[in-house]
Amino acid sequence: MTTSHVKRAFKYRFYPTDAQAAELSRTFGCVRKVYNLALAARTEAWARQERVNYNQTSAMLTAWKKTEELAYLNEVSSVPLQQALRNLQGAFTHFFGKRAKYPRFKSRKKSRKSAEYTTSAFRFRDGELRLAKMSEPLNMVWSRPLPEGSSPSTVTVSQDAAGRWFVSLLCDDPSVKHLPTTDAAVGIDAGLDHLLTLSTGEKIANARHERRDRAALAKAQRKLAKKAKGDGANRAKARRKVARIHARIADRRRDALHKITTRLVRENQTLVIENLTVRNMVKNRKLARAIGDAAWSQFRSMLEYKAQWYGREVITVDRWFPSSKLCSTCGALQDKMPLHVRTWTCDSCGTTHDRDVNAAKNLLAAGRAVAACGAGVRPQRSSPGGQSAMKQEISRREP
């Protein structure tokens, strides 16, 4: 077995004192201010067809601190402010690499509240974490231990919309090792009626986390809508109640996906999935809520980074591949596959298929072909019905 040298973020909840909460809130505000000022400066330079890099924005920060208007930036730790400039530099790097859109300004109400501290701005000793500008350690809930012998290289403090405080510790985790190689491989078909259908025939139920809390969420949202707009205490309280319900849904969904992806990665050497364009699929207004609740993108992300940790392989098959209409026994392509058809019999070989299991088997076969020849898998365009493969891809995921 090969040891994977990976960095993992260990996230814990903590309960700050009033003084710590005030200090962190000030830091969040200053981080947002510096990020926006630097983005404005770089945008103005961009309009003049000039580029401003991280070093130049760092020099700007020094100058801003000397002005009377922005002197309050000296009251918080300088490290999170510098990290905000580095994050902005990363955002522009992704933009220039055509991997993301142009960076956007941070909003006081909508943007994530967070501050990042490097080793010079915190002290971690004997299970106690002290941040710069704070005399007392954070009151953390140690829900799980850090890897033995490791210490954090970066600490990120954040507050979510529900008002909960979290601290994320980035550490080297020597306990992550490549698993023994196995011959097991599985095709995974994502859906809505069942969250996942495997080529083995197993179907993983869709818990529909959002539906469980839909009534409570709707009630809370109606109460929020009736509050007078502005920064009033009653509206803020109603907004937090809505956020708490959303957080509860997201926590349950994330926990379930972690358990599913960990099991799949541990049991299989090769995992084949479809390269779904979720961003386009949620434009279907009838399915948008259900697709969002299924969290296919989050599932894929978890599957890929865990496969990398444990020495597994994730293969993605082209989204145009007609996995539902292709007979996994003889390879015949059906002309049509209406939404209501959940089982069907092949006209060529007479095999009766479960629609989703058949799709998962086809994905596995296609994935093996990709692994063997390194080529993408695309449908037979000349075959009847080949042009409607994407429509079938969307329709077969309707509950």
Active-site residue list: 189, 274, 356
Angle between helices 296-310 and 233-267 (to 10 degrees): 50
Alpha carbon separation from 88 to 9, 53, 56, 99, 371 (Å, rounded): 21, 10, 12, 14, 37
Alpha carbon separation from 300 to 64, 204, 264, 296 (Å, rounded): 43, 15, 12, 6
Scan for tokens 């509950």, then name that residue.
Answer: 399
CA separation for the pair 81, 22 (Å, rounded): 17
CA separation for the pair 167, 311 (Å, rounded): 29
CA separation for the pair 2, 374 (Å, rounded): 25
CA separation for the pair 89, 54 (Å, rounded): 6
CA separation for the pair 394, 372 (Å, rounded): 28
Q: Using CB atoms within 10 Å of the CB of residue 228, give its burial: 0 to 12 exposed, 13 to 18 middle, 19+ buried.
A: exposed
Q: How far apart are the first and last CA of the chain?
A: 42
